[in-house]
Amino acid sequence: MRSEKVQMQDAGLKKRTKLFALQVIRAVARLPRNRTTDVIARQLLRCGVSVGANYRASCRAKSQADFIAKMGIVEEEADESIYWMELLIESGEVPPKEMTDLLDEANQIVAMTVASIKTARRSRVPRNAAMAVPR
């Protein structure tokens, strides 16, 4: 049974990743319309909204290994979101101040996800240890 503290953290991060997705949707809607931003906007929208969806999937993981794998996807999608935002800024398509808060949130989500993965890996029971017979 999962502890109440872990369930509260799950609920908090579920809400936070959903809010991140909504912020990405709003940011993409505000982008200037041209060939370059249209392509990058689609990519940012795709990975930005998938952060929350994949986090929700990780909360329903069937095993510790499944949880770690699903959280790895969350990490990748959040990091990819950062990449697309950086491209928008560095290409001059968007002023840095327009993406600062969203970039910060994406970096925080990556950091929390990495920490969760590390914790899950440390607490993972090795396959052979579960089957070992005490002497």
- For 28-41, give the DSSP string: HHHS--SHHHHHHH
Percentage of the chain with pLDDT > 70?
A: 84
Contact 4, 67 (CB under 8 A): no
- Alpha-carbon radius of gyration of the chain: 18
Q: How far apart are CA 58 and CA 37, in angstroms?
A: 31
> CATH topology for 7-118?
de novo design (two linked rop proteins) (1.20.1440)
The predicted pLDDT at position 11 comes to 76
H helices of the chain, where?
4-30, 35-59, 64-90, 96-123, 127-131
Considering the chain, what is the average pLDDT of its residues? 90
pLDDT given for residue 33 in this prediction: 96
pLDDT bin (cut points 50, 70, 90) of residue 101 is very high
Q: Which of 40-49, 50-59, 103-112, 116-125 has the lowest mean pLDDT?
A: 116-125
The 10s digit of each residue's pLDDT in 55-97 is 999 999 999 999 999 999 999 999 999 999 999 999 999 999 9
> Do the beta carbons of residue 73 and residue 54 sit within 8 Å?
yes
**What is the structure's pLDDT at 8?**
53
Answer whether 91's CB lies under 8 Å from 36's CB.
yes
